[in-house]
């Protein structure tokens, strides 16, 4: 009889995991923006470089619709769609966002939703956040709300605080400079009314066509001036101006392109893909805080596995995470294999518990990297890993963890070389304590390596063809946050005043704010379900082996 004891289930078993990879939702038939022959289906996987096999060997990108010269803008190509046509309902907009929209409208200002939130609403996805743009000046926005701050220098915006939510509000005037810089790529303005011109110029300040959509929630109209709807139909991430110019203007857009493609399961337009690959190394110019922010967006919001695959595919992983890139190389990374790569399996299970509006704290994904690297350095017995996760969950109560582990007869995943350690005798508590503390110290050592420039720079030394990088973007505070997670196992006594999480449901507010008990709980669930998959036999039949 296979045993997965109730105590263990309460602690770490997969319980109603939130699905974060729904199938691509087709737009309503009435929205006939492209022929049926161009429609494709996506399953939430990584983006695909097109074409994959017959691409030119030159590093220069091929010519495309938005590359090379100037573009002629025709007003007849602009699309104005009702929210009914694209399936947007008012209830899909968060209550705090609706409150801000109504307050600004009440004061006589025009207000719109812009950017990725409009794209997500059209695709029936939950937006990570909602961005508002208004005809009001930022000073007028600040006066309209009791709790509002103007932040940023070059491109200031307002942060309106409502019920634990922060709504970003920008002004049309703020975007004038950015749109004027891009006007040189367009030959003429279309013959349209002044309001359309103002909206069009604002959309030009965005990065990708699918982010250049604008929604008026009061007139129930969606404005598409840049072909964003067509690219949603085609599943494309395409820059608004020529890709090379766009990424040279702001290399952070490379990371944003990866994040968007990973989350939506979109592919890059051909020119965008070449430019991402060609200019990958320019991301090293970014401030470390910006890199950390972009990496957190990739890994903490439910699309980490697909993001890691894309980072590897486009030559970014060896720049950002050389230690993990070395693991991919040494273990013969397979593009579509979801089972033999433990690092991807860990983040796949993490993704199953998260969503764009239900992220985790950065300490969780950093801890998973460090924990996995510790297992790469020294593989461990699966039951030692199980005891480790349980002891972590309950604040260092090893006696309770050992009692549960001795009842486990559920098979572990044999495909991971990280779990091929020597079997450990379970009859001695002292021996198990030594094993757990040794693993905890190994995790801390791995974390130290990830924050050591010398070690990071040497991670890919055995692969001289790879670009070198000594980038360390994990700050001291994050390092300390992760160390605190594992301290209860390294100490010889159980943590004082630690309150173990009760119940099986994840408190996402606590998780996103780094609550120790919540982060440990989710960490334990992710690791345990990776080592002891609930449906292991079914998974074995579905494993895809592809070089």
Cα 445 from Cα 216, distance rounded (Å) = 52
Residue 412 per-residue DSSP state = P
Residue with tokens 């704010």: 513
Cα 205 from Cα 175, distance rounded (Å) = 6
Strands of the 157-162 sheet, one edge to the other: 79-82, 221-224, 213-216, 111-114, 131-134, 165-171, 157-162, 148-151
Q: How many CB atoms lie within 10 A of CB 115?
A: 26
> Cα 18 vs. chain centroid, distance in angstroms?
15
Cα 147 from Cα 101, distance rounded (Å) = 15
**Residues belonging to the active site:** 129, 131, 207
Residue 284 per-residue DSSP state = G
> Cα 169 vs. chain centroid, distance in angstroms?
23
Compute the C-alpha angle 305/308/310, nearest 5°: 110
Cα 305 from Cα 263, distance rounded (Å) = 10
Output phi, psi for 188, to 5 deg: -155, 160
Distances (CA, A) of 227 to 149, 204, 253, 342, 435: 34, 12, 19, 40, 58
Q: How many CB atoms lie within 10 A of CB 315?
A: 16
Q: Which of 124, 102, 119 is nearest to 111 (CA)?
A: 102
């Amino acid at each position: 009889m296979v045993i997965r004891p109730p105590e263990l289930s309460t602690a770490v078993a997969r319980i109603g995991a939130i699905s974060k990879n729904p199938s691509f939702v087709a737009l309503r038939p009435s929205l006939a923006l492209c022929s049926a022959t161009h429609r494709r289906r996506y399953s939430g996987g990584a983006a695909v470089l097109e074409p994959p096999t017959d691409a030119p060997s030159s590093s220069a990108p091929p010519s495309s619709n938005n590359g090379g010269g100037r573009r002629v803008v025709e007003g007849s190509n602009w699309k104005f769609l009702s929210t009914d046509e694209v399936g947007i309902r008012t209830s899909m907009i968060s209550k705090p966002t609706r409150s801000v929209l109504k307050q600004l409208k009440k004061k006589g200002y025009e207000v719109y939703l812009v950017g990725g939130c409009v794209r997500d609403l059209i695709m029936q996805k939950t937006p990570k956040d909602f961005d508002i743009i208004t005809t009001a000046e930022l000073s007028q926005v600040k006066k309209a709300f009791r709790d509002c701050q103007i932040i940023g220098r070059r491109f200031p915006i307002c942060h309106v605080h409502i019920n634990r939510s922060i709504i970003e509000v920008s002004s049309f005037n703020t975007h004038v400079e950015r749109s004027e810089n891009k006007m040189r790529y367009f030959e003429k303005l279309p013959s349209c009314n002044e309001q359309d011109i103002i909206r069009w110029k604002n959309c030009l300040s965005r990065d990708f066509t699918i982010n250049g959509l604008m929604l008026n929630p009061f007139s129930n109209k969606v404005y598409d001036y840049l072909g964003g709807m067509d690219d949603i139909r085609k599943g494309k991430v395409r820059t608004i101006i020529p890709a090379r110019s766009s990424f040279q203007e702001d290399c952070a857009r490379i990371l944003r392109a990866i994040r968007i493609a990973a989350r939506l399961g979109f592919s890059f337009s051909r020119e965008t893909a070449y430019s991402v690959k060609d200019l990958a190394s320019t991301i090293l110019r970014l401030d470390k805080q910006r890199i950390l922010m972009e990496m957190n967006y990739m890994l903490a919001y439910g699309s980490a596995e697909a993001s890691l695959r894309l980072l590897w595919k486009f030559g970014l992983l060896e720049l950002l995470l050389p230690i993990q890139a070395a693991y991919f190389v040494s273990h013969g990374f397979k593009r579509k294999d979801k089972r033999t790569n433990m690092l991807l399996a860990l983040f796949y299970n993490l993704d199953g518990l998260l969503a764009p509006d239900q992220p985790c704290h950065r300490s969780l994904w950093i801890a998973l990297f460090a924990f996995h690297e510790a297992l790469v350095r020294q593989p461990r017995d699966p039951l030692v890993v199980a005891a480790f996760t349980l002891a972590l969950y309950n604040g260092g109560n090893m006696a309770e963890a050992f009692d549960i582990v001795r009842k486990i007869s559920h098979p572990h995943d044999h495909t991971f070389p990280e779990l091929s350690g020597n079997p450990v005798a379970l009859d001695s508590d002292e021996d198990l304590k030594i094993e757990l503390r040794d693993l905890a110290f190994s995790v801390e050592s791995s974390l130290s390596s990830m924050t050591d420039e010398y070690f990071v720079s040497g991670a890919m030394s055995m692969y001289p063809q790879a670009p070198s990088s000594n980038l360390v973007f994990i700050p001291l505070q994050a390092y300390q946050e992760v160390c605190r997670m594992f301290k209860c196992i390294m100490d010889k006594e159980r943590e004082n005043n630690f309150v173990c999480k009760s119940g099986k449901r994840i408190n996402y507010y606590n998780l996103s704010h780094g609550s120790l008990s919540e982060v440990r709980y989710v960490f334990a669930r992710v690791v345990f379900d990776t080592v002891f998959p609930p449906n292991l036999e079914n998974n074995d039949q579905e494993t895809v082996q592809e070089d």
